[in-house]
Amino acid sequence: MSDKRSDAITRGFERTPHRALLKSTGVPEGQMDRPFIGIASSFTDLIPGHTGMRDLERFIEKGVHSGGGYSFIFGIPGVCDGIAMGHKGMHYSLPTRELIADMVESIAEAHRLDGLVLLTNCDKITPGMLMAAARLDIPAIVVTAGPSMTGTGREGRRFSFVTDTFEAMAQYKAGVIDDQQLKMCEDHACPTAGSCQGLFTANTMAILTETLGMSLPQCGTALAVSSLKRRIAFASGEKIVDLVRDGITPRQILTRAAFENAIRVDLALGGSSNTVLHLLAIAHEAGVELPLELFDELGRTTPQLASMNPGGQHFMEDLDAAGGVPGVLHQLGDKVRDNPTLFGLGVRQIADSVASVDEEVIRPLDNPVRAEGGLAILHGNLAPKGAVVKQSGVSEQMMTFEGTARCFDSEEAAMDALMGGRIKPGDVVVIRYEGPRGGPGMREMLAPTATLMGLGLGDSVALITDGRFSGGTRGPCIGHISPEAAEGGPIALVEDGDRIRLDIPNRSLSLQVADEVLQQRRAAWSMPEPKIRSGWLARYAKVVTSAHTGAICE
């Protein structure tokens, strides 16, 4: 090949020092003219979804060399949200998305790599990788490592991470289950390597990556422990060399149509609310205008076609067997816009190629789970710039609700009240100063939301926050409230005893307090001292934007 990026470190007598260093790593003389492919691997012993990546690295590497390239593996960090949940560690989770994007950019540019295979799996790692691919706009392909299998128990019961650990914790506190049952949940909830088994953020992002056309067919749903995942890894290694030779780059794939398709698939499956943040951020890097309101516009015309755990009955292994992403595209029919993918086929070709779909898992448009998509965008005097709710996880009786505000300035304070039995039916739990800037880091509120469900309050208590939720969250939980409290948003002005009204069908979230009273409160409001004053998070808090923009860093 001629005119490769890597020519800057391999060609000409001026690059003698560079070639010497490359040879020092083991690169043979005869490989210097091959495309240099970086394998950005987020392998770590710390995250169950990533512990199996050493195996996938080998298969990607084999594919790169079979395709005529030369591969270099480099490491990218990751945070396990489940392990980081409920303590200081969760402050770091969302900010790592920006670090990951910056790291991939830094290595690819500094070493003049010709192409990238992005090996990823979990919550912030996958969007961070995609942000880097869109920003760099050099040939890149994503391999998501895949979901775990469900655990098995007596009488055909299947265990999964969120409902059988976080919600079980609250059930134990309430006396619903005993020590032995709690231990059984702990031992069976995560039986294999892989991302959590339901449609949480990791798996939703893997599905949307495939929908966007940035990974090979079935990659988004193939199980981490399957031989299919190995074959996809090998094929991705081969494909990246073709992409380099053909000059196919991410921005040719990441069009407005691609993002609209991703949103529709997300809505049809009832996926994680975190995908709103991530799709906005990826689109920003790709130079695609993607307003927050588009999620709601498409949600009104995209029925929810699947009942996926945590809010429903099916798991990732069921979705994969039912037809995976191609099956969802097939069922959506004409709602899908055609768009190119990295592997050559158009999106409509993929949808049309599906021979059959298990309609018990992925329903047809004329027999949906719900008439509208899984996510809804709310506005009102509490959220002038928007808020997000995963309506697929909300019971019918809680779609409209009015309750009494109980205000907490941190997740920990809210958890103390919940576990102490101080939250009663008819309350609206308000958790603030947990947004991108105020947190800092916009922590996930899985512990409070799972505790609500575990205590049996999911049909009598709502929760609102300027933080965000795990993909495992279900119940009347509204997040991403913008502007956040740390920016002086209205959520900072709420007081105990105020009445708050939630109306999901009419997309409204309102504080039942007179405007003149709110003006008086605003005049008396002042920003609290930052929770974290040093290190990376202090720097992050100064540059991060609001949730309605995707919490990007400017």
Residue the block writes with tokens 């505000």: 405
CA–CA separation, 156 vs 162, rounded Å? 18
What's the 3-state SS for 309-363? Answer: CCCCCECHHHHHHHCHHHHHHHHHHHHCCCCECCCCCEHHHHHHCCCCCCCCCCC
What residues are paired with 152 via a beta bridge? 158
Q: Residue 457 in contact with residue 397, Cβ under 8 Å?
A: no
Cα 497 to Cα 402, 405, 430, 494, 515: the distances in Å are 12, 5, 11, 9, 17
124 is in an annotated binding site: yes
CA–CA separation, 354 vs 334, rounded Å? 14
Q: Residue 369 in contact with residue 391, Cβ under 8 Å?
A: no
Dihedral pair phi/psi, residue 122, rounded to 5°: -105, -175
If phi > 0 it is left, if psi is from -120 to 50 it is alpha, else beta; for residue 392 that is alpha
Q: Which residues are CB-contacts of 157 (< 8 A; sequence separation ≥ 6)?
A: none
The gap between the terminal CA atoms of the chain, to the nearest Å, is 37
Helix (H) or strand (E) holding 108: helix 93-110
Dihedral pair phi/psi, residue 538, rounded to 5°: -65, -40
45 is in an annotated binding site: no
Nearest to 439 by CA among 477, 481, 473: 481
Specify whether 227 is catalytic. Answer: no
Give the number of residues written for the chain: 554
Rg of the chain in Å (alpha carbons): 23
DSSP code of residue 530: P
Name the 3-class secondary structure at 79.
coil
- Largest Cα separation within the chain, whole Å, is 76
If phi > 0 it is left, if psi is from -120 to 50 it is alpha, else beta; for residue 263 that is alpha
Active-site annotation holder among 215, 236, 470, 482: 470
Whether the link from the prior residue into 448 is cis, omega within 30° of 0, is: no
320 is in an annotated binding site: no
Dihedral pair phi/psi, residue 277, rounded to 5°: -55, -45
Q: Which residues are CB-contacts of 412 (< 8 A; sequence separation ≥ 6)?
A: none
Interstrand relation of 477-479 and 462-465 (parallel, antiparallel or unpaired): parallel
CA–CA separation, 415 vs 410, rounded Å? 9
123 is in an annotated binding site: yes
Nearest to 162 by CA among 476, 475, 416, 434: 475
Interstrand relation of 508-511 and 427-431 (parallel, antiparallel or unpaired): unpaired
Residues annotated within a binding site: 81, 123-124, 444
Mind telling me the catalytic residues? 470
Residues annotated within a binding site for Mg(2+): 81, 123-124, 444
